[in-house]
Chains A and B, each alone.
Chain A
Amino acid sequence: MAVLLETRDLKKHYRMGASTVRALDGVSLEVREGEFLALLGTSGSGKSTLLNLIAGLDRATEGSLHMFGQDLAAMSSLELSLHRRRNVGVIFQSFNLVPTMSAAENVALAMMFAGVARDERQRQAAHLLGAMGLGDRQQHRPRELSGGEQQRVAIARALANKPHLLLADEPTGNLDSRTTREIMDLLRDLNAREGKTIILVTHDAALAERYAHRLVTLLDGAIVSERAIARSAPGDEGDSA
């Protein structure tokens, strides 16, 4: 399978007063199209920082990050917002839904920035929420929904502009075990049936092992181990270098 994104010696340094925090310190990684990759690590290992750089929410200090042949490090702020709009869909631990908007409006909001016409937005939002099993919850506000339902709304929103890549940052961190399985099954289906490339950030190694094709473990901003997991499901074997 083709390489979807590739980082070369990616670094992200923060200045904290007099000292410099090396959140990422030279990460080189390839992600292939259709892959389900898990980024493992403890808190502070740099896994979320890497995800934010791929999402275009943050800028690298050094190194390159190519996706679709473009270097995110060289992009303007407007180009980065277009990247977030078209190329990636992000799912957060805390769902990050707009509390004053209904489920359908939250999904439609993503399409609003993409300039999709109102009727088409409403139709597409209803379709996506239906596919997430929320056909009867469309007009509910986030606080009227359970955690699992909120995360499904967030997944529907992440899919709204038909991105190739889904980025999930601890998507089940706030959910109970049964709901965790439901959400993870949903992500696996999206990967297997719709060919979405998924990068999952988690500290839960068992969860990652159960769903991902490849596990990449970070420690102190660097990759310390990489392991492919053989699966019968479609997708790449993700051989490690």
Chain B
Amino acid sequence: MTLRDAIDLAFRNLRQAKLRTFLTTLGVSIGIASLAGMVSLGVGLQDQTVGRLQRSGLFDAVTVLPGGDRPGVMMGGRLGPRGFGRRGDPGAPAAAPDRVERDINDQALADLAALEHVRDVYPALRIPVEMKYGGESEFALAAAVPVSVRGEGAFQSMTYGRFFASDAEIACMVSLDLAKRIDEKAPGALVGRSLTLNYAAVTPTGVPQRTEFACPIVGVVERETGPFAAAAGVSPLMLPMGKAREMYAASAIAAPGVSRGTSGPRPYGSAVVRVTAAQFVPDVQERIKRMGFNAYSVGDSIQGIKRAFILLDIILSLIGSIALAVSSLGIMNTMVMSILERTREIGIMKAIGGSDGDIRRIFLIEASAIGFLGGVAGVILGWGVGRAINFGANIYVEQQGGAAGNLFSLPFWLIGGAIGFSIAVSLLAGSYPAARAARLDPIQALRHD
């Protein structure tokens, strides 16, 4: 008997008992719906928290500081307490005596960018500027923002306007706080207007002078985001990385003392290395340390969060499995009934040459067909119920002032897994009835009415 024939025969049998097939399949689909719904809730909650944390840009970042013993040098630019903890400092740890301790200059940035799994490298910069708007003026530390962080954290949703188009653009973004200080009633109207920025620079000949330029506001964002903002405090004013580096370089020469006795541009206080995926962070961090820098990362707290969610997933799927266990008993019951009803037919099939294996195969195919149909229906049902709950929950969340999100997430692996699991459970539930059918004694089966 070919597989094709066995499948035809099995589906014929299922069609023969439409109501029973429908009810059994419905039972399976409810079981799968509850299981898929629970896992989907777990995945959704995980996406809501872990996903949000990952998009914050905190977990794939390594903060790089110059080599040597420089505790707490987290602030960029001139703010960092520089000038102590030099090479050969007797207080430095002797762990790696032959280690080259390096400054973070342009060459260092290029070397860091060449590391495997590194996606982006940029200096962490804070430029002191004087902002002038209308008749007002205030000092601020402008944050340098690379275009590569577009889509991270608060930059995902600009409150007004847009993100920087390129690192070389002459433009600025302001925080919503600052925008409201400037124009309480219509902070969005700032987009398109300009701020006048005034900063300290030196001429090539070394004469200090204030430099001023008009900076068009392209966007308003709720707050600055990123690893550096988390460490150094958020800044109300954001500049593109290119302009910020130019401003830093121009002001740098004014303080030659901070470069470690070497000539050339002043090194950066710290840099941020962005890694392609969070799991590479420890490895990249270690290699950066071996290059002669100090390196820090937020650590593996995200791993702990993930572990907690795996536990939550397991608990939710156990709850969901109860319904599936009940429906698998339904399959078993249906199959046993069906075999009882078709005992004579099984006897006939055996009498005309059907082997035990043929009979078993027909019933196993029937069971897996119920599993497949129930699985597909269950995923659809689970998805529908999830959407409905999500809709209701979001109304409540928004009333409470929160942001709407997807509590349920139904990735492709979950769809495929749920259907596959449904087939597997059905096969398991059908294996006993199928074995019983295969073992039937043909003579007794033929006498059966």
Contacts and interface: CB of A to CB of B under 8 A. Distances in A.
Given A52-B443, A57-B443, A110 B353 contact: yes
Interface residues of A, number: 28
B1 A90 contact: no
Nearest to A101: B12
A123 B219 CA distance: 78
A65 B5 CA distance: 33
B348 interface: yes
Interface stretch (B111-119, B321-329, B354-362): B354-362
B1 A161 contact: no
B262 interface: no
Interface residues of B, number: 24
A84 B446 contact: no
A86 B443 CA distance: 19
A112 B9 CA distance: 10
Chain A contact surface mostly = helix
Nearest to A52: B443
A98 B348 contact: yes
Given A100-B16, A113-B1, A84 B357 contact: no
Interface string A108-120: 0110111100100
B446 A113 contact: no
Contact of A157 (B16, B344, B352, B443): B352
A96 B351 CA distance: 10
A110 B347 CA distance: 13
Contact of A78 (B347, B356, B443): B356
B167 interface: no
A5 interface: no
Contacts of B351: 55, 57, 84, 90, 92, 96
A77 interface: yes
Given A57-B442, A96-B351, A96-B446, A77 B1 contact: no
A190 to B, nearest CB: 17
Interface in B329-379: 344-345, 347-358
A82 interface: yes
Nearest to B358: A113
A85 B443 contact: no
B16 to A, nearest CB: 5
A86 B353 contact: yes
A90 B2 CA distance: 23
Contacts of A81: 350, 353-356, 358
A58 interface: yes
Contact of A84 (B2, B5, B350): B350
Contacts of A92: 351, 446
A220 B358 CA distance: 36
B353 A113 contact: yes
Given A84-B350, A100-B16, A115 B2 contact: yes
Interface string A72-93: 0000011001101110001010
Contacts of A161: 353
Given A57-B446, A109-B349, 12 more contacts: A77-B356, A78-B357, A85-B353, A96-B344, A96-B446, A98-B348, A109-B352, A112-B9, A114-B353, A115-B2, A158-B352, A160-B352
25 contacts: A57-B351, A77-B355, A81-B353, A81-B358, A82-B355, A84-B352, A90-B351, A92-B351, A92-B446, A96-B348, A96-B351, A97-B348, A98-B348, A98-B349, A100-B16, A109-B349, A110-B352, A112-B5, A112-B9, A113-B1, A113-B352, A113-B354, A113-B355, A113-B358, A115-B2
* Nearest 8 pairs of A and B residues by beta carbon: A85-B353, A81-B355, A110-B352, A113-B353, A84-B353, A113-B354, A57-B442, A112-B5
